[in-house]
């Protein structure tokens, strides 16, 4: 993992986003780590906030980085959009060292963002945030009829599922035939 690969790009701000200071400053200086998403914007996050993510927590435990090393090597999450990672970082900062409330009203209301957030949070293994997100997903269809649910959640009909299955079988058959032909060619 080189710093040139992981460092901030021209899209990145001069200084990384800083985590809000907690009211009671800890006696021992807190260590910070750096993460970036698809947009390469680097976010500075405290180790305390990152503890929410089992994935990052595991990475930190295994690496034993000094702050300088961590700054030079931000954790890259190329599969997560920048604005989604920003939401995740904000949530981790807001809930740093606090018991998680039963409801979280700060989650995105836009459905497509929520879907991306679920995928990101699932990847980063942030259990509490995942719980809120899944609850929010369920609330999207509260009181809706089966037809409305099918539309909101883009659920294919049985006929569409069958057609997709046939198509997949056909493709698999063609691929298998191609592999057999290639193997026969190699044998010759």
Partner 1 sequence: MPIRILFLPGKDLQYALNCMDIGDFIAFSLCSKRTRNLAKSSNRKIDSIIADVYQNFTCIEIRPSKVQRFQSDPNALFIYLHFSNPWIQLDRKNGIEVWRKQEFTQSDWIAHILSIFKGSVIEKLGISDVCPVSYLDNVQKIIPKCNKLEISEKCSAELTKRRF
Q: Which of residues 125-144 bind partner 1 (CB under 8 A)?
A: 130-131, 133-135, 137-144
Q: Quick check: 105 binds partner 1 (CB under 8 A)? A: no
CB nearer to partner 1: pick between 15 and 112 = 112
CB nearer to partner 1: pick between 78 and 151 = 151
The DSSP string of 69-119 is HHHHSPEE-TTS-HHHHHHHHHHHHHTTTSPPPS--TTS--SHHHHHHHHH
Q: Quick check: 56 binds partner 1 (CB under 8 A)? A: no
Q: Which of 97, 111, 169, 171 binds partner 1 (CB under 8 A)?
A: 111
Q: Which of 38, 57, 71, 150 binds partner 1 (CB under 8 A)?
A: 150
Q: Quick check: 151 binds partner 1 (CB under 8 A)? A: yes
Q: How far is CA 106 from the centre of its chain?
A: 17
How many angstroms separate the Cα of 138 from the Cα of each of 116, 142, 165?
A: 15, 7, 27
Q: Are strands 42-46 and 75-76 parallel, antiparallel or unpaired?
A: unpaired
- Judged by CB under 8 A, the number of residues near partner 1 is 34
């Amino acid at each position: 993992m080189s710093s040139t690969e992981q460092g901030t790009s021209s899209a990145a701000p001069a200084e990384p986003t800083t985590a809000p200071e907690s009211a009671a400053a800890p006696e021992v200086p807190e260590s910070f780590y750096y993460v970036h998403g698809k947009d390469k914007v680097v976010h500075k996050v405290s180790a305390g906030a990152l503890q929410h993510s089992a994935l990052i927590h595991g990475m930190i435990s295994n690496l034993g980085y000094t702050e300088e090393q961590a700054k030079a090597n931000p954790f890259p999450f190329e599969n997560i959009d920048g604005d989604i990672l920003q939401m995740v970082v904000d949530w981790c900062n807001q809930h740093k060292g606090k018991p998680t409330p039963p409801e979280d009203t700060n989650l995105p209301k836009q459905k497509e963002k929520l879907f991306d957030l679920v995928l990101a949070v699932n990847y980063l293994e942030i259990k509490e945030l995942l719980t809120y997100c899944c609850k929010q997903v369920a609330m999207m269809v509260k009181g809706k009829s089966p037809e409305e649910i099918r539309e909101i959640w883009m659920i294919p009909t049985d006929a569409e599922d069958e057609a997709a299955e046939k198509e997949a079988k056909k493709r698999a058959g063609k691929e298998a035939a191609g592999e057999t032909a290639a193997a026969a060619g190699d044998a010759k």
